[in-house]
Structure 1
Amino acid sequence: MVADSAKGPRSSLTETLFVLFLRLVALGSLWFALQYWAMLTGVSFNGQGRFDLLPPAWKAAYTALAVLFPVAAVGLWLLVSWGPVIWLIAAATEIAMHEAYPSIFGIDRLLVFMHAAIAIVFVLFRLALFIQRRRQARTVRTDSP
């Protein structure tokens, strides 16, 4: 049987790896979201991180991150353009918490390094995809002599 519609071009290895990367970051974001929600509801840390027991700065930061990370996870998993943007806002918030206000939130170099590494890998993937699409646009021209 003949397919009803023509098949589109196959995804390149770079595109496939980029989708896999975004999905892994989505799973990580979901993990962070679950950790924040468990802490805020008193499930983890023996209830010591419950929302009503936190100082005001922690309440604001943790509540924002408990909302931003699941939204980012959904956006990254669905491969929509706003997913990485929301993830970047959440990651920048965590970096600012631990780098700009270490006296309030403590120092977490591993978390900061992880967010920076993910952002660098994302930029490198986008650059590789840009170069790849530019080369394809040059070679697949029907109006060239």
Structure 2
Amino acid sequence: MNKVILMGRLTRDPDVRYTQGEEPMAIARFTLAVDRRGKRDGEASADFPSCVCFRRTAEFIEKYAHQGTKLVVVGRIQTGSYTNRDGQKVYTTDVVVEEAEFAESKAAADRNTQQTPPPSPDTGADGFMNIPDGIEEELPFD
């Protein structure tokens, strides 16, 4: 079984591109900073897995995720290789993200980045946006 579940913060804004053709497909690439359990020499450490996602998941990432956003992603490990311009073989390992969701509320994210904006009239007490009735089909997730 090849299944990965990670929780971490985006190290920078995602790189989103679209394929050419009749029906362009979104492809998002990003890196997560994932804390390791325990400390080494008294200091916390982290891993930085490269992630890639496609279609609706990539569109969700493009629209809602930015540097510092804390996400939980579910996917699989994929390895590959290619020959670079210098003729050297380069090996790759990516997490192919099949599902992504927020790991904290917007209010918690704002507190963590020390940039608390004034409360929005569309935001409830829990920090999540109030969604009007009848627009479920427009939401970027299943």
TM superposition score category, shorter chain reference: under 0.3
Between the two structures, name the one with larger relative contact order (CA 8 Å, sep ≥ 6).
2
Q: TM-score, normalising length from structure 1? A: 0.24
Higher strand share: 2
Higher helix share: 1
Q: TM-score, normalising length from structure 2? A: 0.24
